[in-house]
Structure 1
Amino acid sequence: MPQLAVPSIMLEAVRNPIFAVGLPLTLGWASGFPTAKVVREPWYQNLNAPPGRPPRQVFPVVWPILYASMGYAAHVAAKSLETTITPSGRDALNTGLVIYYGQLALNFAWSPTFFGAKQMGYALADSAALLGSVLYMTKLWDGPTRGQTTILLAPYCLWAAFATYLNGGYWYLNRV
């Protein structure tokens, strides 16, 4: 079976810690920027919210921390490729890096899907795929990084699960 490998330009990008952290922060800002306006509009204000929804002011605080943490985890994984000698460890790191970029795309797509297109069902599918990819990526990177990436990604895993619950709650409570 062919090994998944991230293209060299993408691998080199996350080897640089500043770029590794800056990429998800920039993508998150670009994706979420229009959200600030939508959450003040009647469409969002009139939605039935699921139990446990935090105040909207929590999200712009939590997400940048998670983006920085996930970016640094990708940096740790990329740097671990230099020292990991087992084929299984290298495969796990490479596959995890491919998944990392895929989950960035899913993460980037969520806000425009939920808030921009107002498609809660599609956003829920995106969120579920995002959660699955983040959990699997975390599992893949755990051994080869001796748990360093797991510590960085655990809050993201928990928040992605919570965000999927919220998205599912919004979808369920506001079906037409």
Structure 2
Amino acid sequence: MTNTKKVIRTFAPLVGGLIIGRLTAKAQDDYKQYEKPPFSPPAIAFPIVWPILYTSMGVAYKIATDKVESADERNVLKRVHYTQLGLNYAWSILYFNLKLRKVALIESFALLAAGNIAATKFYQADKVSGALMVPYVSWLSYASYLNSGNVVLNKDKAGYTRD
């Protein structure tokens, strides 16, 4: 694989995250008006945390795929990586743009499972790669808590959800 392809694959999660951030930017104003569960972070935390997490998952993916020897192993890593990444991007659209907050909640737990599978597969390929996924999986757990709390606290409020 060329160095250009390696760089693109490493930073693809970050670029995708920036695109999703743009697509959901206006919808996030809607989110600010609703009640938040305890321990919710300030809004400024999200644009700080997510680029770090997207970059670390891209680096983890690159390290893991460089460590495995067979094309079959690389394909497994590719599938788990892009599955969890696709679920990650979809959550933002479901929650912010479509206001399908309950669907997004269910999807957040599927994403958490997919993130754990990716972290485990990366760890099996390379311990550092797996360790780089720990903050991401931890944040996914926290995000599922936040999503759950938001649904419970706001489900009966006009305009909160379309599902």
TM-score by length of 2: 0.86
1:125 aligns with 2:106: yes
CA, structure 1 residues 15+135, in 2 after alignment: closer, same or farther (shift >3 Å)? farther
Root mean square deviation of aligned Cα: 2.2
Amino acid at match of 1:35: T
Q: SS state of the match for residue 155, structure 2?
A: coil
> Counterpart of 1:138?
119
Gaps of 5+ in 2: 157-163
CA, structure 1 residues 143+14, in 2 after alignment: closer, same or farther (shift >3 Å)? farther
The residue correspondences of 1:107-118 to structure 2 (distance < 5 A) are 107-118=88-99
Gaps of 5+ in 1: 1-11, 85-89
The residue correspondences of 1:22-41 to structure 2 (distance < 5 A) are 22-40=11-29
> Counterpart of 2:160?
none
* Count of matched residue pairs: 156
> Counterpart of 1:164?
144
CA distance in 1, matches of 2:73, 2:148: 31
CA distance in 2, matches of 1:63, 1:131: 15
CA distance in 1, matches of 2:59, 2:91: 22
Q: SS state of the match for residue 35, structure 2?
A: coil
> Counterpart of 2:49?
62
CA, structure 1 residues 14+64, in 2 after alignment: closer, same or farther (shift >3 Å)? farther
Deviation for aligned residue 1:29: 1.1
